[in-house]
Amino acid sequence: MSDLLTDVLSGGVRGGTAIMLAALGETLAERAGVVNLGTEGCLLVGALTGYAVAAETGSPWAGLVAGALAGAALALVHAGLVIWRRADQFATGLTLMFFGLGITSLFGVAYVGKAAPGFAPVEIPLLSDVPVLGPVLFAHDPVTYLSYLVAPLMWWWLRRSRSGLLVRTAGERADVLHLHGYRAGLIRGGAVVAGGALAGLGGAQLSTAYAHAWFEGMTAGRGFIAVALVIFAAWRPLRVVAGAYLFGALLAVAPVLQARGHAVNQFAMDALPFVITLLILAVIGRRTLRAAPQELRRVFESSSSN
Amino acid sequence: MTATATAPRDMLAGLGRWAAALLGALVLFALLLLVKGANPLTVLWGMAVSTFTSPPTIEQIVIKSVPLILAALAVVIPARAGLTNVGGEGQVVIGAVAAAGVGLWLDPSLPGPVVLVLLLVGGGLAGAAWAGVAAVMRLTAGVNEAVTTLLLNYIALDVLLYLIYQPWKDPEGSGQPATRPLEVAARLPLLGTTAVHVGVVLALVAALGTWLVLRRTAFGFRLGVVGGNPEAAGRAGLPVRRLLLAAMLTGGGLAGLAGAIHFAGVEFKLRPGLTTNIGYLAFLASWLVRHRPLPVIGAALLLAAVTIAGDSLQLDSGLPAATVHVLTGLLLLAVLGWTRRKGDAT
Amino acid sequence: MSVVFRMPRIAVFVAVAALVAACSANTAGSGDATGSGAPGKGAEAVGFIFVGPKDDYGYNQAAYEGSQAVASAYPDLEVLTAENVPEDDNAARIMNSMIAKGAKVIFATSYGHLDAALKVAAEHPDVAVVQQGNLITGTVPANAGTYFGTVYEPVYLAGIAAGKATKSDKLGYVYAFPINQTISNINAFQLGAASVNPKAKTYVVNTSSWCDPAKQAEAAANLIKQDVDVITQHQDCTATIIKATEAAGKYTVGYHADASSLAPKGWLTGSEWDWDKLYVDIVKTAIDGGFTGSKYNANYRVGFKTGENPFVQSAFGPSVAQPTKDAIATARTLLGTEQGSPFAGPLTDQDGKVRIPEGTVPDYAEIEKIDYFVSGVVGKLPK
């Protein structure tokens, strides 16, 4: 039984990492007052670019950096359109998702089935021997280890640093920034682009450390899950981590049970992460909404009528 | 409500921006094709010729635009009340599922036209109920509907897959994951000798009806007020919550109807990938024309044409099928970014 | 609110009434395909549609390569190909645009393309439409047919290699959806393994997708965790599972394509497509005007018993010993005989019920209808 739990949880970390990185990126953008539904697109371009650069240079680390840059580039389009051109955030984000799907299949054909160096799991001595926690947390690839740092750093940075304060203010009271001579647009843009970089990193993790392959549309909705996750985590980086691992674990339940010969309804299992998110949102929605950045609430409460 | 008075000049400027945006998107797309080593002129010319010069293709564009129009109206109406319905895809799927449920249950026993009417109603109700989940969550828990409708899309797809792989699978179908086909008598009839089914009439009526309701009725006016400023609307004594709910349910109903029409007019069976992005494309179609019900028809036709032109991308130029998403994406980005109007015109 | 529009309701009703008067029944797909000229005769173009990308290193790529064999066999023939064609009415549209470009022979290469293929066949009696892998139930139209190899035969042989190689007696099978073809493959794999190793069991995990690499990674990781030491699959894209298996030091049995380069150590063998001859022969039959009444104007199945199976066994990997190769060769010969079949009775299902009695050898059509797992497969099918 505990073995089963260990497998579900370690699957949760494995499968949750890309979602977590994307959701942390989205958290950053939303803390600054911008929703990016194009996160799915950022994941996709990150996955392809990461894999392609790893294949061409022979270095998965180079792939990781390139994936982050690609995610940032797509997010820059989003930032430009919604901040500079004042386009609708939801529509622009969804369009970017389509665009990301198209552009990656256009340029990705050369990399389907092509071999590329990737990240292999590295067990951390001693720590990986700890019961349950060892296999769950310390028997993964280096990117996953790296990802452990992102949320605490973001939490600290948002809270304690001056630039973090600026980002939060851009999401809460943009007019205050203006009074003090800052340009809220630039700060928001920076947060969106940095968020896209994180999503791109998540995509690169997916292709170079998890699936070890590129295939068009391989993110399969994980970017949307990330967006929903941010709300249910009430825009807090540490809760995002918990939510992402929960999602990963839900995705892992079916194979864990099946590999032991148990019958599961595959379609019910597939719907489960989405159903559970909806339920959680229904239960805690009202409370989390109060935690939403002010500028974001404006986006959420009246969006289409521009 | 002001735009029509100062029309000609604004309209000309608007059209100019539109044309410039579209041209810009095409130029970018051409550049991408160049990077891929294809000759953009040949590709675009091939797309245009093979799409617009053959009557069967034009019929196909019309057929494809029918569910797009309805699902786009499912974005238009909630948008008027300030709601973002990204759940067209799921509502279309559930509409088709319900239509199949009703149709395949009744078609052995009732006359075809009766079954047809019932399945269309069933599809509409199911779509409304699916959107209703998001509406209720918005009203009771304050959860943004853009997010919930997106999540509901994935659940709808799993419902569809479950039904066709298990309880509804056609026992005569050699194991294929699909239901049995709807009886011929219960299908949407075709218009004259064309391949176009009468769903096109329903779609046009729905667009016209939406236009009338939004423009000429107190309900439409109130929706606009709520969309403009919900707080002020509340203070003015409007039943804001009921209006929001009504907008979402009507929208979902239209998307569900789109699914039912797609089922009874084109597919006749439920099968995996039944809707192929109708809901998402419709969302973009509605945005393309800033949620105006009559221009939605044009936008749906345009996106249907682009999708069908995508066939020629691969048949003539050997480019990957999804390349067409690049073009769609660029067109939309250009329109979203560069055709914004100052006022909110109907 | 300046423009007053009084007309519409009446106008709409009038229009609807006029249109209803002009309606006809929507009977697409039930037409009769007897008409002028032999289907496909003198074709100047041939069309192929694929459900996935034509470079997936799997099913679709194999079919695409077959189409290119047709192109080189008939240099004057225009070969049209379309990838990512969904298994719905869009497929009919794309086939129609191929016909508009002059195609007179159409290959619809995915299981789910059958309905669209039959619809197109009914609309174009002069075009031969063949579908890969599904079965036409009822009367086969004069210009249509299905064709396939008996995929489970080489899978059975690969199962022998797996049964010999396993040390834990646990084999893993990652599949997408419980369609009959997949069920036959899983059964054949288990039966092949059990024929040389009665203790061998096959653990099945599904992914609900023909290609979702992340789900594949999770499936492989869990099978490996359960001590499974040979993994095979029925997925459209195969690289993720093979790489994960190789990285864990386990054995791979391939599917769709020779991927031994991805698993230099653990590759045992596999099954792969070689459509070239069959495609070229179908095209030749149609162009010569002999399609109707030919073996392709039916549910054509070819296997070791009846001719050249387009589904062939892949090359062996380095670890496969000579006795294993010999056992496979013997089984291969047996499958070519009258009494040889992976599913020869007695065949018991998972619940121990005898489904095919001793002494009965099911034919290819019966095998395609098997919808239960045989004993030794661990995991349940949805009811």
- List pLDDT tens digits, range A242-275: 999 998 999 899 999 999 988 888 888 888 888 9
Q: What is the pLDDT of residue C99?
A: 92
Is residue C379 less than 8 Å (CB to CB) from chain A?
yes
Is residue C264 less than 8 Å (CB to CB) from chain A?
no
Of the options 3.40.1440.10, 2.40.400.10, 3.40.50.2300, 3.30.2350.10, the CATH number for the domain spanning C45-149+275-302: 3.40.50.2300
pLDDT of B80 > 60? The answer is: yes
- Minimum-distance CB partner of B142 among A37, A81, A286: A286
The larger pLDDT score, comparing residue B215 to residue A113, is at B215
C47: which strand partners?
A: C80, C106
Q: What is the pLDDT of residue C21?
A: 52
CA distance A198 to A206: 12
Residue linked to tokens 């650069």: A53
Determine, for residues B311 and C94 on separate chains, whether the beta-carbon distance falls below 8 Å. Answer: yes
Q: What is the pLDDT of residue C55?
A: 76
Q: What is the pLDDT of residue C35?
A: 44
Q: What is the pLDDT of residue C18?
A: 53
Determine, for residues B321 and A105 on separate chains, whether the beta-carbon distance falls below 8 Å. Answer: yes
* Chain C neighbors of A208, CB-CB under 8 A: none
C312: which strand partners?
A: C272
Determine, for residues C382 and B165 on separate chains, whether the beta-carbon distance falls below 8 Å. Answer: yes
Q: Which residue of A has its CA nearest to B314?
A: A106
| pLDDT (mean) for A191-207 | 97
Q: What is the pLDDT of residue B265?
A: 93
**Region C152-272+312-378: CATH code:** 3.40.50.2300
Q: What is the pLDDT of residue B39?
A: 85
Say if A177 falls within a structural domain. yes
CA distance A297 to A276: 23
Give the domain extent around B313: 40-338
pLDDT of B336 > 70? The answer is: yes
- Minimum-distance CB partner of C23 among B4, B198, B318: B198
Q: Indicate the domain borders of chain C.
A: 45-149+275-302, 152-272+312-378
C-beta of residue B151 within 8 angstroms of C-beta of residue B138: no
pLDDT in tens, chain C (383 residues): 333 334 444 444 445 455 555 567 776 544 444 445 789 888 899 999 998 877 777 788 889 999 999 999 999 999 999 988 888 888 998 999 899 889 999 999 998 899 899 999 999 999 999 999 888 888 999 999 999 988 899 999 999 999 999 999 999 999 998 888 899 999 999 999 999 999 999 999 999 888 889 999 999 999 999 999 999 999 988 889 999 999 999 999 999 888 888 899 999 999 989 999 999 999 999 999 999 999 999 999 888 888 888 888 899 999 999 999 999 999 999 998 888 899 998 999 999 999 999 989 998 888 888 889 999 999 888 76
| CB burial string B302-340: b at 16+ within 10 A, e below | bbbbbbbbbbbbbbbbebbbbbbbbbbbbbbbbbbbbbe
CATH number at residue B143: 1.10.3470
The larger pLDDT score, comparing residue A306 to residue C28, is at C28
Nearest CA among C241, C240, C239, C216 for reference residue C230 = C241
- Minimum-distance CB partner of B276 among C88, C114, C181: C88
CA distance A18 to B228: 38
Say if A122 falls within a structural domain. no
Q: What is the pLDDT of residue A158?
A: 92
Say if B12 falls within a structural domain. no
Q: Could you read off the pLDDT of B94-135 as tens digits, one per residue?
A: 999 999 999 999 999 999 999 999 999 999 999 999 999 999
Amino acid residing at B240: V
Nearest CA among A277, A250, A228, A219 for reference residue A18 = A219
Is residue C219 less than 8 Å (CB to CB) from chain A?
yes
Residue linked to tokens 């100052």: B342
Give the domain extent around A260: 2-115+141-301
Q: Could you read off the pLDDT of C97-143 as tens digits, one per residue?
A: 899 889 999 999 998 899 899 999 999 999 999 999 888 888 999 99
Select the residue from A74, A104, A222, A267 to test the B interface by mutation, using most B Cβ atoms within 10 A.
Answer: A267
This prediction's pTM: 0.87
C-beta of residue B322 within 8 angstroms of C-beta of residue A105: yes
pLDDT of A296 > 90? The answer is: no
Q: Could you read off the pLDDT of B132-167 as tens digits, one per residue?
A: 999 999 998 888 888 889 889 999 999 999 999 888
Q: Which residue of A has its CA nearest to C170?
A: A259
> What is the SS3 assignment for C155?
helix
C-beta of residue A232 within 8 angstroms of C-beta of residue A281: yes
pLDDT of A306 > 50? The answer is: no
Say if B1 falls within a structural domain. no
β-strands C354-356, C347-348 pairing: antiparallel
Domain count, chain B: 1
CA distance B306 to B324: 7
Determine, for residues C262 and A115 on separate chains, whether the beta-carbon distance falls below 8 Å. Answer: yes
Say if B31 falls within a structural domain. no
| Closest CA of chain B from C371, distance in Å | 8
Q: What is the pLDDT of residue C226?
A: 93
Say if B64 falls within a structural domain. yes
